[in-house]
Amino acid sequence: MADTMSPTDSHADAAPAPERSPGGLDSHDRSAPKHTVDGFVSDFMRELNYGQGVRLARASVNDQYLALARTVRHHLQARWMSTLAKQWDMQAKTVCYLSAEYLLGRQLDNSLLAADMDDIVEEGLGQLGMSLSTLRGQEIEPGLGNGGLGRLAACFIDSLATMSVPCVGYGIRYEYGIFRQEFVDGWQVEQSDPWLQLGNPWEFPHPENSVRVQFGGRTEKYEEQGCERTRWLPDWDVLGVPYNYMVPGYRNGRVNTLRLWSARATQAFDLAEFNSGDYVEAVRNQTFAEKISMVLYPEDSTPQGKELRLQQQYFFVACSVRDFIEQVLPADFDLRKLPDRAIFQLNDTHPVIAVPELMRVLLDDKGFEWDEAWDITQKCFAYTCHTLLPEALEVWPVELLGRLLPRHLEIIYRINDDFLAEVRERFPNDEMRVRRMSIITDYPERAVRMAYLATVAGSKVNGVAELHSQLLRDKVLPDFSDYWPDKFTNVTNGVTPRRFLRLANRNLSGLITEAIGPGWITDLDRLIELEPYADDASFRQRFREVKAADKASLARHLKARNNIELNTDAMLDIMIKRLHEYKRQTLKVLHIVTLYQQICSGELDADDVTPRVFAFGAKAAPGYRMAKQIIGLINGVGSTVNADPRVKGRLSVVFPPNYNVTLAEKLIPAADLSEQISLAGKEASGTGNMKLALNGALTIGTDDGANIEIRRLVGDDNFFLFGLLEPQVEELLASGYHPASYYERDPKLRAAIDFIASGAFSDGDRTTFEPVVSNLLNEDRFLALADYAAYIEAQERVDAAYADPDVWSRKAILNVARSGFFSSDRAMREYVDRIWHTPPVLDD
């Protein structure tokens, strides 16, 4: 029998406490939440009894979590409505952040922080005999992204809300997020991620504002008042249902919106088919439509040339452009002024189809002439590129685009024709250049280069770290940066200090705030005030105590989560990021195997080795075979090393499965050493590197991505640099790279590789990791062997520094103090000032 609420629950009708101003709620509303413990308890009980429909005595943890989440969200809703009202009144220019991914992480803690409710909730739940930490654990994080790109989007919208800059984040509400990773015999197995199954208290669906999105069919010309116009005659459509999420600023009374689209069939099912008994046929439409927002493509840094992927991309940008024009702007808005009201930021190439979509809306729906429409469009877009790997730049076959979006293909052709005519005018008799710059390529098949389209249409193009932006100009888009030097700019990535320091590392936050006050939470440059404390022995001692406490807490977490034992007395050496060959997890493995092999062979005395725990977190794309092999290898090395009494207490490997934001928040605070060892020139920026430095881990890293800026800021002495520089990489590749020659010349390297090849980590089976070994010896695209010797030498420098806790913690404190630059608030300020021109909307 279902258990229903009982009027006898003591708190359900507790006396109302004095209330805080309900802010943006309509004035007659008397149910604004109360900001006191009693007020919280009565609100919570009301949610439990009347929202969930259960009595306290019978409430499951999920009931309690949902009631808590709804209680907390009430505290933000008034701010949300007043923010929207204010933005509406001001008709403020708004950032429309278009991103196929948002890796949000859990919402409860961030909402509690923004609403300043931690203490009240902790105490109130305590009175009811519940624990906040248990309820926290009930939240399933929305895994609507793969890695850095999606997490960056989440950091950016957090910062914009905190800075009171109007922003709507637009994306897809994937029914199933990034897969849940399990290990079976050390190999990755993917399970689906039904994150919505137990209910999602953080979203607000608005089916009444659904947008119809059309696909397929053909176009036709017609005459209107003597002008030739085009009409698109699509042959199928779906509905996009918006789900709104609050994006609270940090205690500034602002809440922006994240609007994620879910696909529904325009006609749910065919009643006649259903009545005739053909149930499968009856729901065919529905299934067909809903698959569009069914799953996130679990690819990171590589494009997925799949029709469904293009459907997803068009689906969400078409909904978003229409939503902004029809819902956010007033009905009589003059679209010639659109650039004063909106900037659509293209987060990588995934949303670039928004460019021809805005053109289509202006031309076909709103009756603009081409030149005027193009002028508006060009001012409304800006493009961020997040990669350098040429194979990762999206290209859509003309055949596919023409079939799915025939009108858009026509528009792209016209944009290209006009653009190439301009190029010819500026560079007469340079057909090679024209061909190089064409948005349409003919090789290996006729296709649209989305990065080129974004560059032609965008008012600005930016890379995500200095080196990346430079290589983007010089190597990826050199003709375009010649053509439009002012279009190109850099904005180095950043991370939100709220989630990744204040919330993830309460111990360190407390220590910092005690030393310099809480101003750093919204002005991270103030961390520099910690610098003098690096020379204060008692502060260093406390800093070490904080690290030890964070490690102990990680150890408890890993024990409960995966039954993993963590040696908290060892250096915690961490490599957490997607599994990709260019990131070179194999180089890390070679280091571990080298140490282990040297101990086994007697070359090294175990007692002389710095005790280390090597921790990994990484998902491999399901179709990326080599990446999955490498996961198998890490786990193989882990189970052998962890079981060997000769290295007990000295070397161990932990690889908790299913690395996600929630786990990152546990691992990062506890880390001593941050592994950022990509091949120079390949990692666009990295953001994990920033989070780790900010939490007092020292970096061992190559001269790549944002590592370069981290090293410049924290100082050479506080960063372990190694490896080839980007120009050296180019040189080596140009002169012919032979990995086997490194193997032959370097006995340590040879011994490590031979050890793997011998089957030492695969129960004696030499074939298991043969693909990794032969890839390293014969191909090694990312030059792991070329950097191996320098890496081992740098690790020895790490050991030497770690040997003296005072030396190490001084460096670690300086890393924290000098990492203020890596706040996403700073990154957002740069976008606002140089690209978006969207001032904050402040109170009068």
Are 183 and 635 within 8 A, CB to CB? yes
Spatial distance between the Cα atoms of 155 and 822, rounded to a whole number of angstroms: 11
Is 461 a binder of ligand NBG (CB under 6 A)?
no
Which residue number, 494 or 820, has a Cβ lying nearer to ligand NBG?
494
Is 93 a binder of ligand NBG (CB under 6 A)?
no
Is 348 a binder of ligand NBG (CB under 6 A)?
yes
Chain center to CA of 64: 29
Options 76-84, 364-372, 684-692, 796-804: segment touching ligand NBG (CB under 6 A): 684-692
Q: What's the closest the beta carbon of residue 171 comes to ligand NBG, in angstroms?
A: 15
DSSP per-residue letters across 440-452? EE-SSSSEEEHHH
Q: Give me the residues paired with residue 614 across strands.
A: 573, 653
Which one of the listed residues 264, 583, 682, 811 is annotated catalytic?
583
Which one of the listed residues 578, 628, 666, 810 is annotated catalytic?
578
Spatial distance between the Cα atoms of 77 and 22, rounded to a whole number of angstroms: 9
Is 705 a binder of ligand NBG (CB under 6 A)?
yes
Q: Which residue is nearest to ligand NBG (CB)?
A: 148
- 172 phi and psi angles, rounded to 5 deg: -115, 135
Q: What's the closest the beta carbon of residue 824 comes to ligand NBG, in angstroms?
A: 11
Q: What's the closest the beta carbon of residue 384 comes to ligand NBG, in angstroms?
A: 7
DSSP structural state of residue 780:
-
Cα 52 to Cα 56, 70, 87, 141, 202, distances in angstroms: 10, 10, 33, 21, 15
Is 347 a binder of ligand NBG (CB under 6 A)?
no
Among positions 246-305, residues that touch ligand NBG (CB under 6 A) are 300-301
Spatial distance between the Cα atoms of 221 and 3, rounded to a whole number of angstroms: 63
Q: What's the closest the beta carbon of residue 629 comes to ligand NBG, in angstroms?
A: 21
Which one of the listed residues 162, 377, 640, 687 is annotated catalytic?
687
Q: In terms of residues, how long is the chain?
A: 844
Contacts with ligand NBG by CB under 6 A: the residue count is 18
Closest CA to 446 of 416, 475, 418: 416
SS3 assignment, position 253: coil
**578 annotated active-site:** yes
Which residue number, 496 or 768, has a Cβ lying nearer to ligand NBG?
496
Residues 151/157/163/168 CA torsion (nearest 10 deg): 170
**691 annotated active-site:** yes
E strands present in 536-627: 571-576, 612-617
Spatial distance between the Cα atoms of 701 and 615, rounded to a whole number of angstroms: 16
Spatial distance between the Cα atoms of 567 and 215, rounded to a whole number of angstroms: 56
Which one of the listed residues 86, 106, 499, 691 is annotated catalytic?
691
Residue 313's H or E segment, with its range, is: helix 307-323
Which one of the listed residues 74, 151, 386, 810 is annotated catalytic?
386
Options 312-320, 548-556, 677-685, 811-819: segment touching ligand NBG (CB under 6 A): 677-685
Which residue number, 710 or 749, has a Cβ lying nearer to ligand NBG?
710
Which member of 685, 718, 768, 809 binds ligand NBG (CB under 6 A)? 685
**379 annotated active-site:** no
Options 106-114, 170-178, 601-609, 683-691: segment touching ligand NBG (CB under 6 A): 683-691
Omega before 234 within 30 of 0, i.e. cis? no
User: What's 809-838 look like in SS3?
Assistant: HHHHHHHHHCCHHHEHHHHHHHHHHHHHCC
N- to C-terminal Cα distance for the chain?
Answer: 55
**687 annotated active-site:** yes
Instruction: Sketch the per residue contact string, 368 through 407, with ligand NBG: x for CB under 6 A, - otherwise.
Output: ------------------xx----x---------------
Q: What's the closest the beta carbon of residue 476 comes to ligand NBG, in angstroms?
A: 13
Q: Which residues of 635-667 are buried (b: 16+ CB within 10 A; e: fewer)?
A: bbbbbbbeebeebeebbbbbbbbbbbbbbbbbb
The answer for residues whose C-beta is within 8 angstroms of residue 482's C-beta and 6 or more apart is none
Which residue number, 152 or 724, has a Cβ lying nearer to ligand NBG?
152
Which residue number, 297 or 755, has a Cβ lying nearer to ligand NBG?
297
Which member of 687, 718, 775, 823 binds ligand NBG (CB under 6 A)? 687
Which residue number, 148 or 351, has a Cβ lying nearer to ligand NBG?
148
Q: What's the closest the beta carbon of residue 385 comes to ligand NBG, in angstroms?
A: 8
Q: What's the closest the beta carbon of residue 578 comes to ligand NBG, in angstroms?
A: 8
User: What's 737-748 look like in SS3?
Assistant: CCHHHHHHHCHH
Among positions 558-587, residues that touch ligand NBG (CB under 6 A) are none
Among positions 481-520, residues that touch ligand NBG (CB under 6 A) are 493
User: What's 212-225 look like in SS3?
Assistant: EEEECCEEEEEEEC
Which residue number, 640 or 685, has a Cβ lying nearer to ligand NBG?
685
Is 464 a binder of ligand NBG (CB under 6 A)?
yes
Which residue number, 297 or 614, has a Cβ lying nearer to ligand NBG?
297
Instruction: Sketch the per residue contact string, 419 through 458, with ligand NBG: x for CB under 6 A, - otherwise.
Output: ----------------------------------------
SS3 assignment, position 306: coil
Which member of 130, 338, 456, 684 binds ligand NBG (CB under 6 A)? 684
Which residue number, 148 or 669, has a Cβ lying nearer to ligand NBG?
148
Which residue number, 109 or 675, has a Cβ lying nearer to ligand NBG?
675
Which residue number, 387 or 809, has a Cβ lying nearer to ligand NBG?
387
**266 annotated active-site:** no
In the block, tokens 């999606």 appear at: 150
The answer for residues whose C-beta is within 8 angstroms of residue 623's C-beta and 6 or more apart is none
Spatial distance between the Cα atoms of 492 and 465, rounded to a whole number of angstroms: 4
Which one of the listed residues 46, 151, 577, 584 is annotated catalytic?
577
Among positions 184-213, residues that touch ligand NBG (CB under 6 A) are none
Which residue number, 148 or 617, has a Cβ lying nearer to ligand NBG?
148
Among positions 141-180, residues that touch ligand NBG (CB under 6 A) are 147-149, 152
Cα 646 to Cα 16, 124, 600, 642, 731, distances in angstroms: 65, 51, 8, 10, 42
Which residue number, 550 or 704, has a Cβ lying nearer to ligand NBG?
704
Cα 32 to Cα 28, 78, 99, 117, 550, distances in angstroms: 10, 8, 34, 15, 37
Which member of 683, 703, 726, 787 binds ligand NBG (CB under 6 A)? 683
Spatial distance between the Cα atoms of 786 and 723, rounded to a whole number of angstroms: 8
Spatial distance between the Cα atoms of 18 and 675, rounded to a whole number of angstroms: 52
Is 838 a binder of ligand NBG (CB under 6 A)?
no
Q: How many CB atoms lie within 10 A of CB 459?
A: 18
Catalytic residues: 386, 577-578, 583, 687, 691
In the complex, which residues of this chain contact ligand NBG (CB under 6 A)? 147-149, 152, 300-301, 348, 386-387, 392, 464, 493, 683-687, 705
